[in-house]
Amino acid sequence: MIYDDSMETDNTEQSECKHDCSTCSANCSSRTKESLIEKPHELSHIKKVIGIVSGKGGVGKSIVTSMMSVIMNRRGHKVAILDADVTGPSIPKAFGVKGDVTGDGNGGIFPLESKTGIKMMSVNLLLSDETSPVVWRGPVIAGTVKQFWTDVIWDDVDFMFVDMPPGTGDVPLTVFQSIPLDGIIIVTSPQELVAMIVSKAANMAQMMDIPVLGLVENMSYFKCPDCGKEYHIFGDSHISEVADKFGYKVLANIPVDPRLSALCDKGMLELMENDYLDKAADSIEKLLD
Ligand code: ADP
């Protein structure tokens, strides 16, 4: 028998393995996707977890997360939002949610609720001044997001939407690995290199074995309120071609709608009146079947 280094590594791995891949850097054969996934709090019962991803910040990932939550809540589902976009947390503001986060005295944290009962947890709810910048390094950010999953007492939830950190770097990757996502929605805008962004997100999802539920194009066009004509102010859309290429569905084309940004600014997104994401909601609802 020929001796090589990997055998020694294997033996060491077996003798020292603590069966917790999240705190171990060994690249051993028993390291699996499942082994990195964290367990939620024992009082959390979450049926479906949907990640909302984008290639960069500012394309509307948070507004899509918030709007999806509003629609699913209106349809009678129990909804929660885990704001994993730690350095740009905008979810509580869109819902006008502020207040003190409290715990159960045992390490468990209670989420806050919007006016219509959407549960949420975000770094912004933990900062004494919500305008303070969050200047944390990647591992701290990833650790905080993990805690939102493991330590928050979400109770019964039908759909949890995770506003993912933008991009496909280290932090989103850790979030992908630690939260058991049932699917992702990729948000893009017409001015982006859509094919590249979708391809990167698709690769990441494939590595983790997570289905891509579909694509949402935000800021697709602007509809003139006077004449009804549609203007493609950020350029022509390539979303259908890209969707066809990857075999994904286009779930929505959301226009630039000043009413949406105004409602977000006032913390009253729950009053929105539009059907932009109804098709996406139909698709996601089927996951419960
Ligand atoms: P991201 O989460 O990708 O960083 P946000 O959802 O926070 O992006 O959106 C960035 C800004 O653009 C916010 O002020 C939001 O209100 C605004 N916005 C996003 N989508 C639209 C839209 N379709 N119409 C009008 N304003 C929008």
Q: Which atom of ligand 1 is nearest to the CA of 261?
A: 16
For 216-257, write each residue's pLDDT tens digit: 999 999 999 899 999 998 888 888 888 998 899 999 999 999
Q: Which atom of ligand 1 is nearest to the CA of 85?
A: 2
Q: Which atom of ligand 1 is nearest to the CA of 187?
A: 3
Q: Please state the pTM of the whole predicted model.
A: 0.87
**Distance between terminal CA atoms of the chain?**
54
| Rounded Cα gap, residues 137 and 86, in angstroms | 11
CB of 84 closer than 6 A to ligand 1?
A: no
Residue whose Cα lies nearest atom 26 of ligand 1: it is 261
**Of residues 179, 154, 147, the one with CA closest to residue 164:** 179
For 22-59, write each residue's pLDDT tens digit: 555 555 555 555 567 889 999 999 999 999 999 888 89
Residue whose Cα lies nearest atom 16 of ligand 1: it is 261
192 neighbors 56 (Cβ within 8 angstroms): yes
Specify the DSSP element, H or E, that contains 183.
strand 183-188
Place of tokens 């959301």: 254
